[in-house]
Amino acid sequence: MKLFSSVHDVTDINALAKEALELKRNPYSHTHLGKNKTLALVFMNPSLRTRMSTQKAAMNLGMNVMVLNIDKEGWALELKDGAVMNGTTVEHIREAAAVMGEYADIIGVRSFPGLKDRELDYSEDIFNKFVKYCGVPVVSLESATRHPLQSLADLVTIEELKTKAYPKVVLTWAPHVKALPQAVPNSFAEWMCRADADFIIAHPEGYALSTEFTRGAAITHNQEAALADADFIYVKNWSAYEPYGKVMPGNEDWMLTNEKLRATNNAKVMHCLPVRRNLELSDEILDGPNAVVVHEAGNRVWAAQAVLKRMLEGS
């Protein structure tokens, strides 16, 4: 594997999830693979889970890890080709990425969308330029439109906890006070559309995701109907795709509660975290027996380790 940026980079997602679970059982079975290999984790935005879990995954494989919080360290990158760099950017992504490729065997990159210019964000300009110029395998640590390590961990979690071959999985929009990217729901949707699941997306009017990611999913504005008999509920806020990045007032009643859980098949409740308590998800859910959000976060390690393992194997 040379690139892990979306579900399209994986031939068989079930085999990859299975490999992740195998690594969970035997974390240190491949420490030779990463010997003298270096992973560089480049963050243009803050991270807690992704940084820790990917770092741990790499260390489990015997790799060295270098973390660059490039946003915090005053290293403004120029992205535009042909730019006359007489302003505030100090280095072009062409050089920055290429140089990092000199020092790392695999690079992980995080870059959030600006949520101002949809075409720009959805072109994945920053991420793609990094891939183009760095010359080594790249794993997305969340890009403008996708968060594939999260989605793989989500798939792993569902595979691990499901009690039937073909569970009902609901992605439900949740309230928030800020405009958040569509990366996590986009990504979850495109993975679930290829997973062994009955997948349905519920959101208020005005929050339709790009059909590029949801093709094959059932979509409804009726949360109650969607939740009926659900085995897994994936809770997540996102801002509108059209008009891009907007947040409409209202819809506070979309927060998941125990009351709503009753109609489900004792559903497991998932969230990528961080979660705003009592806004996105109620205390009673998060502190109750149905929440699997911490377990899910734990699985980020094995998802990352499976991806890094394949990159190290060149397979």
User: What per-residue string of b and e applies to 288-315 under the rule 16 or more CB within 10 Å gives b?
Assistant: eebbbbeebbbbbbbbbbbbbbbbbeee
Binding-site member from 212, 224, 229, 283 for a second copy (CB under 8 A): 283
Structural tokens at position 36: 């003298």
Residue 244: burial class (beta carbons within 10 Å; 0-12, 13-18, 19+): middle
Query: Looking at 1, 20, 41, 59, which residue binds a second copy (CB under 8 A)?
Result: 59
**In the complex, least distance from residue 78 CB atom to a second copy, rounded to whole angstroms:** 7
Ligand-binding annotation for 191, yes or no, is no
Q: How far is CA 101 from CA 50, 52, 76, 305, in A?
A: 20, 22, 18, 20
- Does position 55 bind a second copy by CB under 8 A? yes
* Closest distance to a second copy from the beta carbon of 126 (Å): 16
Closer by beta carbon to a second copy, 134 or else 240: 134
User: What's the closest the beta carbon of residue 80 comes to a second copy, in angstroms?
Assistant: 10
A 10 A CB-CB count for 82 gives 4
Quick one: which segment of 11-19, 111-119, 208-216, 287-295 binds a second copy (CB under 8 A)? Answer: 287-295
* Residue 112 near residue 144 (C-beta atoms within 8 A): yes
**Per CB under 8 A, 169 contacts a second copy:** no
Stretch that binds a second copy, among 13-21, 36-44, 185-193, 233-241 (CB under 8 A): 36-44
If binding is defined by CB under 8 A, does position 30 make contact with a second copy? no
> Is residue 231 within 8 Å of residue 162, measured between CB atoms?
yes
Q: Which of 33, 64, 208, 247 binds a second copy (CB under 8 A)?
A: 64
**Distance (Å, rounded) from C-alpha 250 to C-alpha 167?**
31
Q: Contact 129/272 with Cβ under 8 angstroms?
A: no
Residue 276 found at the interface with a second copy (CB under 8 A)? yes
Single-letter amino acid, residue 193:
C
Which one-letter amino acid corresponds to residue 113?
Answer: P
Q: Is 160 labeled as ligand-binding?
A: no
The nearer residue to a second copy, 6 or 290, going by C-beta atoms, is 290
The distance of Cα 169 from the centroid of its chain, to the nearest Å, equals 17
* Positions that interact with a second copy (CB under 8 A): 27-28, 36, 38, 40, 46, 48-49, 51-53, 55-56, 59-60, 64, 66, 68-70, 72-75, 78, 81-87, 90-92, 94-96, 98-100, 102-104, 177, 273-279, 283, 286-287, 293-294, 297-298, 301
Indicate the annotated binding residues. 47-50, 75, 110, 142, 147-150, 176, 236, 272-273, 276, 300
